[in-house]
Amino acid sequence: MSTATLAGLTGAILAGVGLYGLIIHPDPLRRILAFNVLGSGVFLLFGIIARRGAAIGALADPVPQAMVITGIVVAFAATALAVALLIRLGAQTDPVVTQADKQDLARRADD
């Protein structure tokens, strides 16, 4: 089996594993991680298409490579935005913010 095919199969399994994690985890941070695994699997599929398209003067087709580079940077931006949303959400719903909040929560729990 060639390196490219093996890497492609790895990419396919990674996409499946990432998808699984994305569905089963209730925790958003774990979903972000799983989403990144899924994404890197898809990038690898692009990678084997690039490698298979090697031609004279190019060890791999540059067009899929350029797409993956763009993809990695955009995936990072999306991850950062998702993490920022997550942290803001945590700050919003954190039960221990101030003493007043604590008392408020306790009162609600009593009701």
Partner 1 sequence: MIVQTLDIGLAALVLTLAGYTVLARATFPAVVSYVAYGLLLSLIWVRLFSVDVALTEAAIGGGLTGVLLIGAAGKRRGTAVAATELDPTQPLRWAIMALCALAALALATVVVSLPDPAPTLAPQAMENIATTGLGNPVTAVLIAYRAFDTMLEKCVLVIAVVGVWSLACDRCWGGAPDVPRAVARGGTLTFFAQVLPPLGILIGIRIFWIGADEPGGAFQGGAILAAMWVIIMMAGLTDVPAISKRWLRIALAAGPIVFLGVGILGFAAAGGFLAYPHGFAKPVIIFVEIFMTLSIAATLPMLVGGAPIRAPRP
Where in 29-58 is the site for partner 1 (CB under 8 A)?
A: 29-30, 32-34, 36-37, 40, 43-45, 47-58
Residue 16 or 105: which CB sits closer to partner 1? Answer: 16
Considering the rule CB under 8 A, would residue 98 count as an interface residue with partner 1? no
| Tokens of residue 35, six digits | 């989403």
Considering the rule CB under 8 A, would residue 105 count as an interface residue with partner 1? no
74: amino acid identity, one letter: V
Residue 30 or 103: which CB sits closer to partner 1? Answer: 30
Site string for partner 1, 72-91 (x = CB under 8 A): xxx-xxxxxx-xxxxxx-xx
Residue 87 or 106: which CB sits closer to partner 1? Answer: 87
